[in-house]
Amino acid sequence: MGGPIFLPPGDRYPLDENCHHYTKLAQVPWDIQKYWHQRFSIFSFYDWDIHLTDSAWFGVTPEPVATRIAHDLSTHPIAKGKRVLIDLFGGAGGNVIAFALSQEEGEEEKQRWDRIIAIEKDQSTLACAQHNAEVYGVLDRIEWVHGDSFEVMRRFWDFHGQHSGQTEKEPGEEEKDETLDELLEGLNPAECLVFASPPWGGVSYRDQEVFDLSKMEPYNLEQLYEACSSSPSSAATGEGEGQGQKQILPQALFLPRQSDLNQIAALVPDGAPKVDVVQYCQKGASKALVAYLPGNIVASEQKNEKQSERGQKRKHHDEEQEQEQGQEQEEQQEQQQQEQQQPPAPELLPEAPVEEEETSMSHDASFDASFDDSYIQNTSHIDSGTPNTGSKNAEKRKRKRRRRSSHNN
């Protein structure tokens, strides 16, 4: 494969022979049958033609967990002032769809993220993610990059500080996609936050009592953290923002539930804000933890100006949306009147199938950078089987898309 490629809006990979929508147990390879049985708790819209590659089943985040993480991340202190989310391992879309659906707290209809960039190395998996995002009505909310996320981040730091060069060069790296460069150069690091749900090196992670993150394969914890940091040497010689200091993007890392917390705590520099680690559970058992690691990039004045420009554009966009909403209300009233006269029409994206009752919750553990064994544990509940995508919202999204396509015609 050559260097990473940015897929311009509207461009997508077709589903191929590695992308499957299994409908019968007999079709499912034995090692993923366990996951197939859980398919509706993984994607509540599974029956609406969700596709996965066989290897994606192992790492895909179940929807209630993804929805809860998206909510927690939206409001987490590490995400304060961040508007751009970069998902380093997009996979089949489990997390990125939930991010694209998340809204500003207390402001219904306002997207939490201005931009969401999903990076995925495997073309078939990326095709599944795009297809699945379309099923959930958020395909055009996500910017898709096909390629190695370490190389993408190295190029990000080429524009915003020099990278420490810890990652190896990929063959064909010299064939640079200029549109990707434009995308990366246009990003403001002060607005960016990284989410990473990396491969954990197969299912054998379960056998370890405490998971050694330095041995995680193919990428270990330190490599992930470094990919989100500028090189100390460039910071030391740099001018202005980040002078003398390594720049670090805030990160939310999705890791095995029994990960070694000391290794996570050791990452953050002395004096950095507290690190949060949250265990995400289903049926009372943890599926994974997310480590919320603070960054250190503050917007400069110049960047604030750019932000306010963008804010103006957003405002413009919001006004357009308000107009659309007004139109939508009128349409709804019309529809209600028609419904009183006619039998109900079938929904375009019907109510998701309801799974058997499941109790899900998350345990929160917070600890200081100087972690000492005595962290607090709280519990809160995930509303499993009821993602924040009701059929009402799905229908709204479909209607918007219909209107958009009629605009385009």
> Which residues would be at the binding site for ligand MGP (CB under 6 A)?
58-59, 61-62, 197-200, 203, 206, 254, 287-288
- CB closer to ligand MGP, 122 vs 241: 122
Q: Which helix (H) or strand (E) holds 333?
A: helix 301-341
CB of 100 to ligand MGP, least distance (A): 18
CB of 120 to ligand MGP, least distance (A): 13
- CB closer to ligand MGP, 215 vs 392: 215
CB of 256 to ligand MGP, least distance (A): 7
DSSP per-residue string spanning 26-47: GGS-GGGHHHHHTHHHH-TTGG
Q: Are strands 115-120 and 275-282 parallel, antiparallel or unpaired?
A: unpaired
- CB closer to ligand MGP, 184 vs 288: 288
Nearest alpha carbon to residue 79 among 302, 292, 268: 292
Question: 46 is written with which tokens?
Answer: 């599974």
CB of 109 to ligand MGP, least distance (A): 29
CB of 99 to ligand MGP, least distance (A): 15
315: exposed, middle or buried (Cβ count in 10 Å: 0-12, 13-18, 19+): exposed
CB of 47 to ligand MGP, least distance (A): 19
Question: 398 is written with which tokens?
Answer: 């479909």
CB of 91 to ligand MGP, least distance (A): 7
- CB closer to ligand MGP, 247 vs 362: 362
Interior angle at CA 5, CA 214 and CA 191, nearest 5: 65
Cβ contact 94:42 at 8 Å: yes
- CB closer to ligand MGP, 1 vs 285: 285
User: Could you count the other beta carbons within 10 Å of the beta carbon of residue 136?
Assistant: 26
- CB closer to ligand MGP, 190 vs 290: 290
- CB closer to ligand MGP, 92 vs 261: 92
Report the Cα 182 to chain-centroid distance in Å. 21
Alpha helices per DSSP H over 50-192: 56-59, 63-75, 94-101, 123-135, 149-160, 178-185
